[in-house]
Structure 1
Amino acid sequence: MAELQLQNVSKTYGTFEAVKDVSLAIEDGEFAVFVGPSGCGKSTLLRLIAGLDPVSAGTVAIGDKDMTARQAGERPVAMVFQSYALYPHMSVFENIAFPLQMERRSKADIREQVAKAAATVQLTTRLQDKPNKLSGGQRQRVAIARAIVRKPEIFLMDEPLSNLDAALRMEMRSELTQLHKRLGSTMVYVTHDQLEAMTMADRIVVLNAGKVEQVGKPMDLYHRPANLFVAGFIGSPPMNFLAAKVTGLEGGTVLLEVPGVGQVALPGDASGFTVGGDATIGIRPEAIATAAPTEPALSLSITPRTVERLGLHTIVYGEQGGRTLTALFNGDPVIAADAPLGVYVPLQQIHLFDAAGQARGHRD
């Protein structure tokens, strides 16, 4: 079993808490992605799992074995870094074989294992080349093959695609996803790019300021974010937030006054609000439409200031009530900059947050 268990794991550097009381279970064979902004603690947490840094508190277990006190070399993990960390004077074969040579494996065994790993990452024809003859994506595949030959129980990947251009990142995302399916291994992947997280993960762990904000499947986090931070981080373009005041509570309905919009009645958990208190409504850019839906909807008027036509989609940055509102439309609709535009948002697609930023209503 390659299940990963973290119990109340913390890491401090002097008075700075980089990781704060994280408890987490990654299932055997799962592709888990740690995502969050720079400095949120995701890479630090990965290093604690790898044993590269000691934990300040808590335990790290793999399967039924406590790894907390074990050194990095004693843990059944292999790590792939952002920098490829290849030896430039060695061939691809020698770079992949290096960890096996350190274990003093036989030459025949090394040849067999390197051949298998190279075939897995489609590098069989490049084994005699030096790294300087390879593209960035091929170099990263060498680093992955070097991890594969160790036959770890868990693969740890720290932003392995961040040095690649956009087209190559897209290609490598697909390759890593297919590799995970072929190997069936547990993978823990760190990125600041929520697109990578959404497209690759079985489950996403959203981190912020050293704490876990939410854990869930990609579309669960998209449709049901736990709080304002997750709602604003997951989704591209990011969610629009509008401040509001609570004017009434009627069972499962929260009555709001939204400046520049007017009165809005939204379904939600009324127990999280008080009359006269603050609230926030969240609107996904893609939930905004130019045609009135058949279901109850919020009607708005926005004045487009910037229109980005991308072919498949059109992004509009408009002014609404003295604030910027972003809308995402399919295709290439007729929209003129600086001309008022009437739009609609179905009430069931509006997210509702209390004064503490916790979600109290969301899309079903």
Structure 2
Amino acid sequence: MARLELANVSKSYGAFDAIQNVSLAIEDGEFAVFVGPSGCGKSTLLRLIAGLDPISDGAIRIGADDVTRRPAGTRSVAMVFQSYALYPHMTVFDNIAFPLQMEKRAKADIRQQVERAANTVQLTTRLKDRPAKLSGGQRQRVAIARAIVRKPDIFLMDEPLSNLDAALRIEMRSELTQLHKTLGATMVYVTHDQLEAMTMADRIVVLNGGKVEQVGTPMDLYHYPANRFVGGFIGSPPMNMLAARVLGNGAFDVAGVGQVVMPRLGRKLAEGVAVTLGIRPEHLGSDVAEGGFTARIMPHNVERLGAQTMVHARIDDQNFTCVLSGDRPLTQGEAITVGCKADRIHVFDESGLTVAKA
């Protein structure tokens, strides 16, 4: 396995800059996840690492080797795609063995490597079957086993679970995480699903518009987002965003709510400054404490999920969501008071950067 380093990597298609000056280091054995909305450049960046597309500027290093201009086949990377890309006329064994057969390995070596990889992904009993007889999850395991037998320095995975149903995605998430631990491999995984990123990654790379917004552990990004974009993208349901203006004496004038006194936050900011307050739905509760945010809301939809009750309302014509613990006896159209402690509130400036957190 090896360390991956990107130095000022850019990719342009004519006048369109798909990747803009990305510098990033992924350590040996790390599970890194690229996450962001559709069109943010995460799959493009993965293709640049794989060598499937040439970069416009910058450098890519795998271990001590500069692979910037090397063809894909010489980079010691293995890629698993969203589509399984299996040969339907071949057995599972032959699909897994294909890259070794292309290298003209000895038959005994091929059999040993295929059986070892199949055992790793729990496909030992299906080696004689063709892909048509397999479930979606099993087909994806074949694609992963085919990558394993190459013994690459780096595994690259481009939304490998997006074609699976919800229950199977959860199962495969766990299996991929365990596979990473078993192999001790350097893995780079692309997804638009921030839940996958949060549950699988050692570190998350948040991309937006071809740029890196923030790199950090899942909990770093959750608790300390660098800006409004990261705060709103990481977390489910998304963070509530409320327009506000700083008043004197540590208070805020919050649109649609009124004056909210949060001395520790307010004293960090100049009077009259326009800001956005970010509050996670799960940090709101009906047990309102002093020294934080409090609002009276009118639910227009209540989702009772058993372990949680999700309340949807509007404040200043913005969506406002609360996730309350337990099965709450709430009904649509019945006003409730919710609040959040000040130390869980994020403040973003007019450009979207984080400026304060109590």
Structure 1 gaps, min length 5: none
The question of whether the paired residues in 1 share the 8 Å contact of 2:278 and 2:346 is answered with yes
Deviation, structure 1 residue 268: 4.3
Q: What is the SS of the residue equivalent to 1:144?
A: helix
The answer for the alignment partner of 2:111 in structure 1 is 111
The answer for the alignment partner of 1:98 in structure 2 is 98
Quick one: which amino acid aligns to residue 346 of structure 1? K
Q: Work out which of the residue numbers 291, 300, 308 in structure 2 matches 1:296.
A: 291
The verdict on how the C-alpha distance between 1:4 and 1:269 changes in structure 2, with shifts beyond 3 A counting, is farther
**Structure 2 CA distance for aligned equivalents of residues 107 and 339 of structure 1:** 72
The answer for the alignment partner of 2:17 in structure 1 is 17
Please identify, of 351-360 and 78-87, the stretch whose mean Cα deviation from structure 2 is larger.
351-360
The answer for the alignment partner of 2:342 in structure 1 is 347
The question of whether the paired residues in 1 share the 8 Å contact of 2:265 and 2:342 is answered with no
**Structure 2 CA distance for aligned equivalents of residues 119 and 199 of structure 1:** 24
The answer for the alignment partner of 1:213 in structure 2 is 213
Deviation, structure 1 residue 355: 1.1
Q: What is the SS of the residue equivalent to 2:88?
A: coil
- Number of aligned residue pairs: 357
Give TM-score scaled by structure 2 length: 0.97
Quick one: which amino acid aligns to residue 352 of structure 1? V
Structure 2 gaps, min length 5: none
**Structure 2 CA distance for aligned equivalents of residues 269 and 330 of structure 1:** 29
Give TM-score scaled by structure 1 length: 0.95
The answer for the alignment partner of 1:82 in structure 2 is 82
The answer for the alignment partner of 1:2 in structure 2 is 2
Q: What percentage of residue pairs aligned between the two structures are identical?
A: 66
The question of whether the paired residues in 1 share the 8 Å contact of 2:252 and 2:266 is answered with no
Q: Does 1:284 align with 2:287?
A: no
Deviation, structure 1 residue 322: 4.1
Report matched runs for 1:1-364 at 5 Å.
Answer: 2-248=2-248, 255-266=251-262, 267-268=264-265, 274-293=270-289, 296-362=291-357
The verdict on how the C-alpha distance between 1:63 and 1:345 changes in structure 2, with shifts beyond 3 A counting, is same
**Structure 2 CA distance for aligned equivalents of residues 55 and 255 of structure 1:** 50
**Structure 2 CA distance for aligned equivalents of residues 102 and 206 of structure 1:** 37
Quick one: which amino acid aligns to residue 284 of structure 1? R
User: Over the residues paired in the alignment, what is the CA RMSD in angstroms?
Assistant: 1.4
Q: What is the SS of the residue equivalent to 1:304?
A: coil
Please identify, of 41-50 and 342-351, the stretch whose mean Cα deviation from structure 2 is larger.
342-351
Quick one: which amino acid aligns to residue 70 of structure 1? R
Quick one: which amino acid aligns to residue 262 of structure 1? G
**Structure 2 CA distance for aligned equivalents of residues 352 and 39 of structure 1:** 27
Please identify, of 321-330 and 297-306, the stretch whose mean Cα deviation from structure 2 is larger.
321-330
Deviation, structure 1 residue 277: 2.8
The question of whether the paired residues in 2 share the 8 Å contact of 1:303 and 1:320 is answered with no
Cα deviation digits, residues 52-76 of structure 1 (max 9, x gap): 0010000000111101010000001
**Structure 1 CA distance for aligned equivalents of residues 76 and 285 of structure 2:** 51
Cα deviation digits, residues 189-221 of structure 1 (max 9, x gap): 000000000000000000000000000000110
**Structure 2 CA distance for aligned equivalents of residues 290 and 188 of structure 1:** 41
The question of whether the paired residues in 1 share the 8 Å contact of 2:246 and 2:266 is answered with no
Deviation, structure 1 residue 325: 1.1
**Structure 1 CA distance for aligned equivalents of residues 48 and 353 of structure 2:** 29
Q: What is the SS of the residue equivalent to 2:300?
A: strand
The question of whether the paired residues in 1 share the 8 Å contact of 2:302 and 2:310 is answered with yes
